[in-house]
Chains A and B, each alone.
Chain A
Amino acid sequence: MWLVVLQSCWVKAYKLMTRYLFNMLSGFVTLYMVFALLFFGAKSIGGSAIDLGDTLEGIFAGYLTWMLAMMGSTELAWNVTNEAQTGTFEQQYLSPVGYRWIAVFTESFNFVYNVSLIFLIALVMAATTGQEIHLHLGSTLPVMLSVYIQATGLGFALAGLALMYKRVQSFFQVVQFLMVGFFLIPWDRFPWARYLPLAASQRVLQRIIMNGDRIWQLPAADLILVLCVTVTYVALGAALFALAESKAKERGVLGQY
């Protein structure tokens, strides 16, 4: 049963993606250009003022985190908003596994797709420009996953808001910028900033990319922090969504009433 549902979600997500082929290709090209710009641009400017480790790898790690987080969170929230209007949300809600799992399965497809894209582009970059990016698969993948899971939590929270208040889409964009803020706040001056979503993961990712460290060479405390933060935010997001869901059912607004 669960396997069938997982497979169905993946097949559907894949089909929908290829149906929007233009979006997919333009996504690829944009990403490639941003990567290239980051590298060459950062080189010529020579460091940056913000606390990202002041190196292009630092910026790169920040960008990577942000991009993944954005893909993970807003895609989910947008889907809920759009599908509530078309009635496919209610239809998926009728599934015995419930909408939450369907969303998680779809997110898992998006994760695999987006991460493959990142590695592919890193390879293409290396081939076309000779710029090597340290993306050790075994080390970056778990961290990227932690970013994505936190983003899913955030996405659930946003989706919940979207269910209750129909006009919050414009708010999504604000959140996208807020997310940058989460990991730009320097920890030494604001120690609590390390508990913000994404911040710890970004730090770890940065070290892996900058120093070429392997994940097992990093301090255990950092990794535990990442783990705790990840679990906390995804749980919070899911709880908020569950709350919104039950409110929406009370008001009868799961659909487009």
Chain B
Amino acid sequence: MASLVVSDLTKTFREKKRVVEAVKNVSFSVGEGEMVGLLGPNGAGKTTTIKCTLGLVKPDSGRIEVEGVDAWRERRKSAAKLAAVLEGARNTYWRLTVWENIVYFAGIHGIPVSRGGDYFKYLLSVLKLEEQKDVEVRKLSSGYKQKTAVACALAKRTPIVFLDEPTLGLDVEASYDLREALRKLQSEEGRTMVISSHDMKVIQDVCSRVIIISRGRIVTDEKIPDLLTLFAARRYKVVISQNGDDGAIRRAETEALERFPGCEIRRNPQTVDVLVSLADGRQIYELVEIMRTSGVAIETITQEEVDLEKAFLEVVRREARACG
């Protein structure tokens, strides 16, 4: 059964002069126990999508189902199934200790310490927060503050957890610790998690599937290994020799750019690299044909190594072109 189903979600913000289509016809579903990444540049609509699901921002249209419960019609029921760490906010009381925060936020979710205490302690150990247990949050570094916020959200033991940019502003070590803890907890508990980030490394590290959002629309929704192989198959580097006729090289460049508008040309001292992403692998023959008719000599053709970061940039760039 799907844990979370978002269908046709649309949200437009109207301010005095500005109208922002923050989320437009977004649909996706997340299976039980899945760890999904929402990836997209700043302003893509990740936070808005998450807040609509949590009942904090009212969508213009669309439907959100949390374990079969309509998130807006039966808010109380769906709220009981959700927890979240929100982006860029403290999320916790700085004047309370780590432990007091956890006890409070679990408490207002209906879980008393007497029932949740052992689990709270376990969370502290997984998140490496044990020594900070009785320290006021305001005295902690940003890494520990964020871990406290994550602990408060997880302590509610809801089947679905949202983490909006959980590693934003953390140093390398804190970010690493947090990701490791998330992986460990998820593999033990099998909760459904939705993690948003503009940093692909974070998503690649903890998620098994990525939904790429750009300008309020979903542009890709793939399992992460699929996404990598997909792009690996599509990225080619064609190296042509500079020794030939300069006019021929120009002609080849112009034609390649015309036929494959996204392609990238790098001039090196000895060679010219033509980097191109192809929707269909067979198109490589077209490119070779262009080179041949222009009269340039191809030295090598290679498939490019791809990581998620490149794939992501590629998708976003393509989307930007499509929008003009």
Q: A92 within 8 Å of B by Cβ? A: yes
Q: Is the CB of B108 within 8 A of A16?
A: no
**A95 to chain B: closest residue by CB:** B108
Is there a chain A Cβ closer than 8 Å to B301's Cβ? no
Q: Taking beta carbons and an 8 Å cutoff, which residues of B are in contact with A? A: 11, 13, 48, 51, 54-58, 75-77, 79-80, 82-84, 86, 88-96, 100, 103-105, 107-112, 136, 152
Q: How far is the CA of A59 from the CA of B109 in the complex (A)?
A: 44
Q: Considering the chains assembled together, what is the distance between the CA atoms of A160 and B95 in angstroms?
A: 25
Question: Taking the complex as formed, is A9 at the interface, i.e. its CB lies under 8 A from any CB of chain B?
Answer: yes
Closest to A251 in B: B13
What chain A residues lie within 8 Å of B108 (beta carbons)?
A: 5, 8-9, 92, 95, 97, 102
24 contacts between A and B (CB under 8 A): A4-B110, A5-B107, A7-B107, A8-B103, A8-B108, A9-B108, A11-B104, A12-B104, A12-B107, A15-B96, A16-B93, A20-B95, A86-B89, A86-B90, A87-B86, A87-B88, A88-B90, A94-B54, A94-B83, A96-B80, A96-B109, A246-B58, A250-B58, A255-B51
Chain A contacts with B in 235-249, Cβ cutoff 8 A: 246, 249
Question: Chain A contact residues: over half helix, strand or loop, or mixed?
Answer: helix
- Known contacts A8-B103, A249-B56, A255-B56: A91-B13 contact under CB 8 Å: no
Contact B91 A91 (CB under 8 A): yes
Shortest distance from the beta carbon of A157 to any chain B beta carbon, whole Å: 21
Within 8 Å CB of A88, what residues of B? 90-93
Residues of A bordering B, CB below 8 Å: 1, 4-5, 7-9, 11-12, 15-16, 19-20, 86-88, 90-98, 102, 246, 249-252, 254-256
Residue of A12, A86, A97 contacting most chain B CB atoms (<10 Å)? A12
Instruction: Give Cα A252 to B51, complex, Å.
Output: 8
Q: Give the chain B neighbours of A11 by CB distance below 8 A.
A: 103-104, 107
Q: Which residues of A contact B100 (CB under 8 A)?
A: 12, 15
Complex Cα–Cα for A256 and B95 (A): 19
A12 & B13 in contact (Cβ 8 Å cutoff): no
A90 touches B56 (CB 8 A): yes
Report the minimal beta-carbon distance from A132 to chain B, rounded to whole angstroms: 39
Q: Which residues of A contact B112 (CB under 8 A)?
A: 4, 7-8
Q: Are A90 and B89 in contact (CB under 8 A)?
A: yes
Closest to A247 in B: B58
Highest count of chain B CB atoms <10 Å: which of A1, A91, A98: A91
Assess whether B58 is in contact with A90, with CB atoms less than 8 Å apart: no
Q: A87-B91, A94-B55, A255-B56 provided; 5 other pairs, C-beta below 8 A?
A: A8-B108, A12-B107, A16-B95, A94-B54, A96-B80
Find chain A residues with CB under 8 A from B103 CB.
Answer: 8, 11
Q: Which residues of A lie under 8 Å from residue B90 when comparing CB positions?
A: 86-88
Select A8's contact among B77, B83, B107, B136, beta carbons within 8 Å.
B107
- Quote the shortest CB–CB distance from B216 to chain A (angstroms): 13
Q: Shortest CB–CB separation between residue B259 and chain A, in angstroms?
A: 44
Q: Write the chain B residue with the least CB distance to A93.
A: B56
Separation of A1 and B112 alpha carbons in the complex (Å): 9
Contact in complex: A19, B56 (CB < 8 Å): no
